[in-house]
Amino acid sequence: MTYLPVARTATEHDLPALRTLARAALVHDSDAEDVFDLLWAQTADRPQLRILAEADGEPVGLALAALRPATASTPAIGHIELLAVLPQVQSRGIGRALMTRAEELLVAAGAERLMIRGRPPYYAWPGIDIRYTRAVCLAESSGYTRGPEGLNMSVDLRTAPLDTADDEARLAAAGVRVRRLASADEKPFLAWMRQWGGSWDGEAARALTYDPPRGHVAVREGADGPVFVGFACHGVNRRTWFGPMGTDSSERGLGVGTVLLRRCLADQRASGLDEAEIGWTAPIHFYARGVDARLGRVFWTYSKDV
């Protein structure tokens, strides 16, 4: 078989075959097709960054890349969103050719820095799952420098303690009401979310696009109406993932976060899931104590200057 590592730009016509390719290559991601669809949609503004490798007219590899434009404080950053090669033809130079072509196109588009890590708010993972060993080797042999790692935690939804009735009653007595996020909340909620910085407001906005919204909030009654003091979302980008979440500093210590977490996980269990992932975890002890979460996937992030 003759390999043409970088043959052409992928098109909508290729989608069925590319979903099959993603399912075969992303062996540690049971929702591989959903991951592919998410990242494909996020590269729609620059379709030339959808790069297909073919052999005898059949897709054998794919790279999806995206450009984050420069801001007043940051340069333009090129992201390698996905690089997938069929397992039976790995270690034949296809991945390297795809990586090289993606980098060339990103630099031509103005990227001053290249990264292999999540691109909020619509990211599929923090970086490279270290179980994809060949991907790690490719990144490091291509001149990328390893950066901060991302940790995910896993929750067994069949056994996790998710009841919140008593805690919700206790919070209500203290003036805090916990409820599902509603579409009518959109304007005041997203205005409040901007205080958190980063990309959380974008992720929360995505949670509102689902019916019902994939999030819960904690509120206190104020003189001008409800005041948000906590939030948690789930299934924003990947159906099995939980996050982001946050509690106003004035309310911490009351157990607001635990109730919000458990309500979201209960939604995921009700949807038929047996396990949920807490993405890009920071407070490990909080999740371990609150829902018996355990450390799971490890992701390494990578970057290099152009």
Question: Whole-number mean pLDDT of the chain?
Answer: 94
CA distance 10 to 107: 19
What value, to the nearest 5°, has the Cα angle with vertex 31 and ends 90 and 284?
100
Location of structure tokens 């009654």: 221
Location of structure tokens 């490279």: 128
CATH of domain 3-116: 3.40.630.30
Query: For 213-217, 282-286, 287-291, 298-302, which range has the lowest pLDDT when averaged over its residues?
Result: 282-286
pLDDT for residue 5: 58
pLDDT for residue 3: 55
Query: For 4-13, 15-24, 207-216, 246-255, which range has the lowest pLDDT when averaged over its residues?
Result: 4-13
Q: How many CA atoms lie within 13 A of 154 on its CB side?
A: 9
CA distance 104 to 100: 6
Is CATH 3.40.50.1700 the classification given to domain 155-298? no
> 80, 105, 106, 110: which is closest to 95 by C-alpha?
80
Over 80: is that where the pLDDT of 277 sits?
A: yes
Structure tokens at 235: 């299934």
Q: Report DSSP letters for 119-146, one per residue.
A: -TTS-S-SSEETT-HHHHHHHHHTTPEE
pLDDT for residue 2: 47
Backbone Cα Rg of the chain: 21
The end-to-end CA distance of the chain, in Å, is 35
Contacts of 302 (CB under 8 A, 6+ apart): 115, 116, 117, 127, 128, 139, 140, 144, 145, 146, 147
Over 60: is that where the pLDDT of 35 sits?
A: yes
Domain boundaries, the chain: 3-116, 155-298
Among residues of the chain, what percentage have pLDDT more than 70? 98
Do the beta carbons of residue 215 and residue 264 sit within 8 Å?
yes
Q: What is the pLDDT of residues 125-151, one digit of tens each?
A: 999 999 999 999 999 999 999 999 999
> 241, 305, 258, 243: which is closest to 107 by C-alpha?
305
Location of structure tokens 């939604």: 267
Query: CA torsion angle for 176, 181, 183, 187 (degrees, to 10)?
Result: 60
Over 60: is that where the pLDDT of 300 sits?
A: yes
Q: What is the pLDDT of residues 83-96, one digit of tens each?
A: 999 999 998 999 99
Average pLDDT estimate for 77-82: 97
Query: pTM of the predicted model, to two decimals?
Result: 0.92
* CATH topology match: 3-116 vs 155-298: yes
Average pLDDT estimate for 216-239: 92
Q: What is the pLDDT of residues 117-128, one digit of tens each?
A: 988 888 899 999
Burial of 49 (0-12, 13-18, 19+ CB in 10 A): buried
Structure tokens at 88: 């039976």
